[in-house]
Amino acid sequence: MGNLIDEIGGQLQQLQAQNLLRRRRIVDGPQGPLLNVDGESYLAFCSNDYLGLANHPALIAAARDGLDRFGVGASASALISGHSRVVEELEAALAAFVGMPRALHFSSGYMANMGVIQALVGPGDTLFSDRLNHACLIDGARLSKAEFRVYAHGDMVQLERRLAKNTSSRKLILSDAVFSMDGDIAPLPELVALCERYDAWLLLDDAHGFGVLGPQGRGSLAHFGLASPRVLYMGTLGKAAGVAGAFVAGDATLIEWLMQRARTYVFTTASPPLLASALLATLALLRADDARQRHLRKLIKQLQEGLADLPWHLLPSETAIQALIVKDNKLALDLMQGLREHGIWVPAIRPPTVPKNTARLRISLSAAHTTEQVARLIAALKTLAVKHAG
């Protein structure tokens, strides 16, 4: 009989040998474009705080106010005694913001996806999932025990063929709205049209679109001017919204069912209500103006133009996620290290997070960056390109 600790120790050594071992770095102080990492200050392009709200004074003040009014803990699950009035207000505000009848608040996007899929489908039903979907959609699919069909990334022809052949009573399409490692936007008008044509439903994960895309950051459906009762919209609140948590919005009957039956909603302690206070401040900022989104778009253009002549290419993306594909795991790590020597922190993303031979630097831009900071990144990458090409 093998020894579990020795066996896993060996697996860890293998990861190390393949340059796949991950390390955490300790961050002191708040999030922002300048990060204090392991005691040194870096210009960081690694966060999902796309609007720079994670350390915004209005959110901090609202969280303090929430702390004074509600204390720290929620004490129980929402269905027992943990559903605070401020969360009720937040759900109504989120539903209105994304133009849906009703919303349900979850403590994270991961939990939301896991809970929603399992509540809606089971054995005998079929899930259709884009190959590049986020891990939590895939895990939710596995838990549900519904049949799981993967279609090639963005391939609406293949998806349609599969939908046309399928005879299950419930068909649920799963898709990231903005793909988290590539930054491209799913073909939402086509997805919604396929739902209508084949009596299917869409769970849309807008973790990287909510707050960023569409007027005032109302999300990727608003970006396309789409509305459909066949869509369940999942937005996360720990990325552009600057706080933590998630919500699912959609038809009121479906949302009521999720409240009754989503296990990751029913069987978990509610989030601290002070977070909902902070999130109401987020929504007030978003509704007030979209200068942050405009500035972000300007930075995206600046980066794309600045990196056009590199030996590596950026994947096409109009979002804050800009993936510079370098293919080789070691080169990705070397570039990450090279940038670090320039005082810049950009994460190298390697398999299994992304497909083999597509290792990359995942550059995340934020409205909190200045054009000067983006220029610094461009200059450093150009210097490294000369070094690694020669």
Provide the minimum distance between the beta carbon of 233 and ligand PLP in the complex, in angstroms, as a whole number.
12
- DSSP per-residue string spanning 134-154: -HHHHHHHHHHT-EEEEE-TT
Q: Which residue is nearest to ligand PLP (CB)?
A: 109
- DSSP per-residue string spanning 98-138: HT-SEEEEES-HHHHHHHHHHHH--TT-EEEEETT--HHHH
Sign of the torsion formed by the C-alpha atoms of 45, 49, 50 and 52:
negative
Q: How far is Cα 374 from Cα 385, in angstroms, rounded to an integer?
A: 17
Catalytic residue, candidates 83, 105, 239, 295: 239
> b vs e for 215-233, b when ≥16 Cβ sit within 10 Å of the residue's Cβ?
ebbbbbbbbbebebebbbb
Should residue 238 be labelled a site residue for ligand PLP when binding is judged by CB under 6 A?
A: yes
Binding residue for ligand PLP, selected from 84, 108, 175, 317, defined by CB under 6 A: 108
Closest CA to 350 of 319, 330, 329, 368: 329
Does residue 37 contact residue 346 with C-beta atoms inside 8 Å? no
Should residue 184 be labelled a site residue for ligand PLP when binding is judged by CB under 6 A?
A: no
Question: Of 66-74, 106-114, 160-168, 362-370, which segment contacts ligand PLP by CB under 6 A?
Answer: 106-114
Catalytic residue, candidates 107, 180, 317, 366: 180
Give me 298's structure tokens. 């300007």
Should residue 180 be labelled a site residue for ligand PLP when binding is judged by CB under 6 A?
A: yes
Should residue 120 be labelled a site residue for ligand PLP when binding is judged by CB under 6 A?
A: no
Should residue 109 be labelled a site residue for ligand PLP when binding is judged by CB under 6 A?
A: yes
Should residue 265 be labelled a site residue for ligand PLP when binding is judged by CB under 6 A?
A: no
Binding residue for ligand PLP, selected from 42, 45, 50, 110, defined by CB under 6 A: 110
Catalytic, 180? Answer yes
Binding residue for ligand PLP, selected from 246, 270, 274, 276, defined by CB under 6 A: 246
Does residue 53 contact residue 242 with C-beta atoms inside 8 Å? yes
Should residue 134 be labelled a site residue for ligand PLP when binding is judged by CB under 6 A?
A: yes
Binding residue for ligand PLP, selected from 53, 136, 222, 258, defined by CB under 6 A: 136
Provide the minimum distance between the beta carbon of 109 and ligand PLP in the complex, in angstroms, as a whole number.
2
- DSSP per-residue string spanning 340-356: HHTTEE--EE-TTTS-T
3-state class percentages of the chain: helix first, strand second, coil last, to nearest 5: 45, 20, 35
Distances in Å between the Cα of 198 and the Cα atoms of 1, 187, 188, 280 are 52, 17, 15, 38
Provide the minimum distance between the beta carbon of 110 and ligand PLP in the complex, in angstroms, as a whole number.
4
Given the complex with ligand PLP, which of 82 and 245 has the nearer CB atom? 245
Site string for ligand PLP, 193-222 (x = CB under 6 A): ------------x-xx--------------
Does residue 201 contact residue 230 with C-beta atoms inside 8 Å? yes
Q: 381 φ, ψ to 5°?
A: -65, -35
282 assigned to a ligand binding site: no
Catalytic, 239? Answer yes
Provide the minimum distance between the beta carbon of 163 and ligand PLP in the complex, in angstroms, as a whole number.
22
Site string for ligand PLP, 28-67 (x = CB under 6 A): ----------------------------------------
Does residue 206 contact residue 319 with C-beta atoms inside 8 Å? no
Q: 308 φ, ψ to 5°?
A: -60, -30
DSSP code of residue 269: B
Should residue 243 be labelled a site residue for ligand PLP when binding is judged by CB under 6 A?
A: no
Query: 3-class SS at 217?
Result: helix
Catalytic residue, candidates 105, 208, 223, 369: 208
Should residue 182 be labelled a site residue for ligand PLP when binding is judged by CB under 6 A?
A: no
Task: Please enumerate in sequence order all residues whose Cβ is within 8 A of that of 205, keeping only pairs 6 or more positions apart, or say none.
Answer: 109, 113, 133, 134, 136, 137, 174, 175, 176, 177, 234
> Binding site, residues?
22, 109-110, 134, 180, 208, 236, 353
Write out the residues near ligand PLP by the rule CB under 6 A: 108-110, 134, 136, 176, 180, 205, 207-208, 236, 238, 246
> Binding site for pyridoxal 5'-phosphate, residues?
109-110, 180, 208, 236
Active site residues: 180, 208, 239
